[in-house]
């Protein structure tokens, strides 16, 4: 996917620890969310299939980090939101798997 701005899990954790206001949208399915998520950091679940009808739930004036299992679906979500005029978007590199590897190994991989 061309020109997908990314943030690494380590960078995201540092920014969250510094108190930066970031909106985190997880585009996985509910059963994946139940397996492990970033809800303690304010993440919200909006499955990719529901995103086109729920775009208005995502603030266009805030920095938004999109995430999924590995980074592919969230890259598609980023393109979709970009098409709706959002421009402060970042894709979580490696998704929840990357978060598990780099930040919190207690989140199970699947």
The pTM of this model reads 0.96
Query: Beta strands of the chain (E only): which ranges?
Result: 6-7, 23-26, 44-45, 64-67, 89-92
- 68 included as an active-site residue: yes
Catalytic residue among 38, 67, 68, 78: 68
User: Going by C-beta distance under 8 Å and a sequence separation of 6 or more, which residues neighbour residue 98?
Assistant: 8, 9, 70, 71, 92
Region 49-64: mean pLDDT is 96
Domains of the chain by residue range? 6-102
Write out the CATH class of domain 6-102.
Answer: alpha beta
Assess whether pLDDT exceeds 70 at residue 98: yes
pLDDT digits over 11-51, tens only? Answer: 999 999 999 999 999 999 999 999 999 999 999 999 999 99
């Amino acid at each position: 996917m061309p020109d997908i701005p990314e943030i690494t899990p380590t960078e995201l954790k540092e920014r969250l620890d510094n108190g930066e206001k970031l909106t985190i949208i997880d585009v996985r399915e509910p059963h994946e969310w139940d397996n492990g998520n970033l809800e303690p950091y304010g993440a919200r679940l909006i499955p990719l299939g529901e995103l086109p009808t729920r775009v208005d739930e995502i603030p266009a004036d805030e920095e938004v980090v999109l995430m999924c299992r590995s980074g592919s679906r969230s890259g598609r979500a980023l393109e979709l939101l970009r098409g709706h005029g959002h421009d402060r978007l970042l894709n979580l590199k490696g998704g929840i798997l990357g978060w598990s590897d780099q930040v919190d190994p207690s989140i199970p991989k699947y």
